């Protein structure tokens, strides 16, 4: 047995080694390791020993991001994180950098024999490899980002190519999978188009006066949000337009980053036309689920559709017949499940997040993914073709039709909630108009530009009827005491009723020159003002 050794070393007098070539490969019978024949010196027991040839010393600036080993054990000797360097000398690799995420200036060094390094992986500027641990059945992983592509190319020549049989087999499967995927779907045009549409709509909203960071909900309604009373009142197109409308820059930025990060892969798995059907179907399922859960909701955003494509991804990778390697399947499945779980938990823990749309999109996307998924083979793409896509359209029509029926036949409770939400939408404009009119005639009366009788006449003719209309608007919906909006409605009723009675009493007091009536008006106004303060606290 060869001794597995780690030792701390200085930075002086180091001679780097060459990497191993790329020809004849042989597999060790006992260890199950794949090594190149020209670099094998001898076989000792169950260990293969690779010869290392010295070259000029080389040091590379890197950024470490190290994780625990294969068995998820913590690194007991080294926890490199952040800017550091790697030096290769002769038969040793020296790792040097900050120790831990919060190192507070603490540095760590570790010397690893080149012969202990195996399973080197490359992805852009990211390099990852494992090395033997100091105990039986323990190995550790080093991960870092190189400074440039030239350094990566040089490191490729210097680091060993020793691989375990399982790693080599998995690597070959991944390469073949990526090759098939790029051959079948070399482009993914739908994802950037969807992102562009969302961004253009948001820019148009901002140019149109909608708030950049936290827009008013009423403003977003005018741009096509899924506002229950209007959607269920006949504006069904809002189920679709709400998928491209967002509540501020943070909302759209988060959604578009996720869509860009995952959309292209999922589009290649399904194909562009199927991906578009999956996206839109899941988004519509999310919009309808949102209304079924809360008929008075005002929701918008692409998150329901994004949850849906993750649902489709889960459906695709979980079916082994689709030709996704196990490593990819496990990684993508776990990533999608974590995304869904984390965001749903976050949504339940914070108000203002439409989890019903998220769940509806996730379930709808998973179901449609089962229908549309095809094996990653050319003959399967041709064989499944239009019949499968047509099946998806039929399933979409049936599901959306079934979900729309209860939306078109709401309960009395749902109708009352929708009516009240519509009243809330109209209330600010109605109130502003009447208040401005009352203030204008009040200033004229105080300045002497209008007689007392004329002032009282305007109040009775215009201001009081205006407040009567507002009171009727907010009090007409018959909300039940247990409704979440019941307290708000009662306070609004108190406010509107107080204002209309105040102006009615003022008009009577002015016409009759009655001080007692004016005192009643003051008391009524004070109660209405108190109700207004309560309303402001409820917002």
Residues 158 and 46 in one domain: yes
Residues 224 and 155 in one domain: no
Give the per-residue pLDDT at 293.
94
Annotated catalytic residue within 54, 358, 447, 484:
358
Longest alpha-carbon distance in the chain: 117
User: How far is it, in rounded angstroms, from Cα 236 to Cα 500?
Assistant: 37
Which structural domain, as residue segments, surrounds residue 508? Answer: 449-471+484-538
Tell me, yes or no, whether 183 lies in a domain. no
- CA atoms lying within 13 Å on the CB side of residue 341: 6
Residues 262 and 317 in one domain: yes
User: How far is it, in rounded angstroms, from Cα 64 to Cα 120?
Assistant: 15
pLDDT tens by residue, the chain, 539 residues: 333 334 333 333 333 333 333 333 333 333 334 333 333 333 333 334 344 455 567 999 999 885 444 333 334 456 788 899 999 988 899 999 887 666 566 888 889 999 899 999 988 899 999 988 654 455 788 889 999 999 999 999 999 988 999 889 888 888 899 899 999 999 999 999 999 999 999 999 999 999 999 899 999 999 999 999 999 999 999 999 999 999 999 999 999 999 999 999 999 999 999 999 999 999 999 999 999 999 989 999 999 999 999 999 999 999 988 988 888 888 888 889 999 999 999 889 888 899 999 999 999 999 999 999 999 988 888 878 899 999 999 999 999 999 999 999 999 999 999 999 999 999 999 999 999 999 999 999 999 999 999 999 999 999 999 999 999 999 999 999 999 899 999 999 999 999 999 999 999 999 999 999 999 999 999 999 999 999 999 86
Tell me, yes or no, whether 292 lies in a domain. yes
Give the per-residue pLDDT at 1.
35
Q: If DSSP codes are grouped into helix, strand and coil, which group holds residue 40?
A: strand
Q: Nearest Cα to 147, choosing from 137, 155, 135? A: 155
Residues 129 and 220 in one domain: no
Give the per-residue pLDDT at 56.
64
Residues 403 and 488 in one domain: no
Give the per-residue pLDDT at 104.
65
Give the per-residue pLDDT at 331.
85
Residues 206 and 250 in one domain: yes
Residues 212 and 361 in one domain: yes
Tell me, yes or no, whether 430 lies in a domain. no
For 153-217, where are the E strands, in sequence order? 163-164
B/e letters for 12-43, b = 16+ CB within 10 Å, e = fewer, are: eebebbbbbeeeeeeebeebebbbbeebbeee
Q: The domain spanning residue 350 has which CATH number? A: 1.20.1540.10
Final residue in a domain of this structure, among 355, 385, 408: 408
Q: How far, in whole angstroms, is CA 156 from its chain's centroid?
A: 36
| Burial (0-12, 13-18, 19+ Cβ within 10 Å), 207 | exposed
Q: Nearest Cα to 376, choosing from 276, 275, 269? A: 269
Please count the other Cβ atoms lying within 10 Å of the Cβ belonging to residue 392. 19
Q: How far, in whole angstroms, is CA 123 from its chain's centroid?
A: 25
Residue ranges of the alpha helices (H) in 185-318?
A: 190-207, 217-222, 228-231, 238-241, 249-270, 272-293, 303-318
Please say if 469 is a catalytic residue: no
- Number of domains within the chain: 3
Tell me, yes or no, whether 355 lies in a domain. yes
Q: Nearest Cα to 372, choosing from 265, 263, 278? A: 278
User: How far is it, in rounded angstroms, from Cα 72 to Cα 117?
Assistant: 18
Tell me, yes or no, whether 308 lies in a domain. yes
Residues 386 and 459 in one domain: no
Instruction: Provide the whole-model pTM.
Output: 0.76
Please say if 358 is a catalytic residue: yes
Residues 86 and 204 in one domain: no
Say if residues 36 and 20 touch (Cβ distance below 8 Å). yes
Residues 59 and 124 in one domain: yes
Tell me, yes or no, whether 18 lies in a domain. no
Tell me, yes or no, whether 424 lies in a domain. no
B/e letters for 54-73, b = 16+ CB within 10 Å, e = fewer, are: ebeebbbebbbebeebeeee
For 137-182, where are the E strands, in sequence order? 139-146, 163-164
Annotated catalytic residue within 303, 335, 404, 409:
303
Tell me, yes or no, whether 15 lies in a domain. no
Q: If DSSP codes are grouped into helix, strand and coil, which group holds residue 97?
A: strand
Residues 252 and 307 in one domain: yes
Give the per-residue pLDDT at 50.
43
Give the per-residue pLDDT at 103.
57
Final residue in a domain of this structure, among 110, 132, 166: 166
Residues 137 and 280 in one domain: no
Final residue in a domain of this structure, among 357, 392, 408: 408
Q: Nearest Cα to 208, choosing from 197, 219, 198? A: 219
83: β partners: 63
């Amino acid at each position: 047995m060869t001794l597995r050794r780690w030792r701390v070393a200085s930075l002086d007098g180091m001679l780097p080694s060459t990497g191993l070539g790329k020809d004849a490969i042989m597999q060790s019978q006992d260890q199950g390791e794949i090594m190149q024949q020209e670099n094998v010196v001898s076989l000792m027991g169950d260990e293969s020993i690779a010869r290392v040839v010295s070259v000029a010393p080389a040091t590379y600036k890197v950024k470490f991001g190290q994780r625990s080993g294969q068995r998820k054990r913590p690194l007991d000797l080294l926890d490199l994180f952040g800017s550091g360097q790697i030096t290769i000398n002769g038969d040793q690799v020296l790792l040097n950098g900050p120790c831990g995420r919060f190192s507070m200036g603490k540095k760590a060094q570790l010397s690893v024999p080149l012969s202990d390094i195996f399973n080197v992986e490359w992805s852009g500027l990211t390099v990852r490899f494992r090395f033997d641990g100091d105990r039986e059945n323990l190995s550790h992983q080093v991960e870092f980002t190189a400074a440039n592509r030239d350094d990566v190319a040089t490191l490729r020549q210097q680091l060993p190519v020793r691989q375990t049989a399982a790693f080599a087999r998995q690597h070959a499967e991944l390469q073949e999978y990526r090759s098939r995927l790029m051959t079948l779907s070399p482009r993914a045009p739908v994802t950037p188009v969807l992102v562009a549409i969302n961004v253009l709509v948001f820019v148009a909203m901002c140019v149109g006066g909608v708030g950049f960071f936290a827009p008013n909900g009423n403003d977003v309604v005018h741009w096509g949000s899924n506002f229950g009373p209007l959607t269920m009142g006949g504006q069904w197109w809002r189920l679709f337009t709400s998928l491209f409308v967002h509540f501020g820059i943070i909302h759209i930025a988060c959604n578009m980053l996720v869509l860009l990060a995952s959309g292209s892969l999922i589009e290649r798995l399904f194909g562009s036309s199927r991906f578009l059907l999956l996206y839109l179907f899941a988004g519509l399922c999310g919009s309808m689920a949102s209304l079924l859960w809360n008929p008075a909701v005002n929701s918008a955003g692409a998150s329901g559709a994004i949850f849906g494509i993750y649902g489709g991804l889960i459906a695709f990778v979980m079916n082994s017949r689709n030709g996704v390697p196990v490593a990819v399947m496990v990684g993508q499945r776990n990533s999608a499940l974590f995304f869904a779980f984390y965001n749903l938990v976050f949504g339940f823990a914070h108000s203002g997040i439409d989890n019903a749309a998220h769940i509806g999109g996730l379930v709808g996307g998973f179901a449609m993914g089962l229908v549309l998924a095809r094996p990653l083979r050319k003959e399967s793409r041709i064989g499944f073709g239009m019949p499968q896509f047509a099946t998806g359209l039929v399933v979409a029509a049936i599901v959306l039709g079934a979900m729309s029926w209860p939306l078109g036949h709401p309960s009395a409770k749902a109708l009352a909630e929708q009516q009240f939400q519509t009243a809330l939408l109209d209330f600010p404009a109605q109130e502003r108009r009447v208040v401005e009119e009352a203030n204008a005639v009040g200033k004229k009366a105080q300045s002497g530009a209008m007689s007392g009788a004329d002032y009282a006449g305007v109040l009775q003719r215009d201001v009081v009827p205006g407040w009567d209309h507002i009171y009727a608007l907010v009090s007409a919906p018959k909300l039940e005491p247990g409704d979440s909006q019941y307290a708000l409605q009662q306070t609004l009723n108190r406010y509107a009723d107080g204002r209309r009675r105040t102006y009615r009493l003022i008009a009577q007091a002015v016409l009759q020159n009655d001080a007692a009536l004016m005192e009643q008006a003051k008391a009524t106004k004070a109660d209405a003002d108190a109700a207004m303060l309560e309303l402001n606290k409820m917002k």
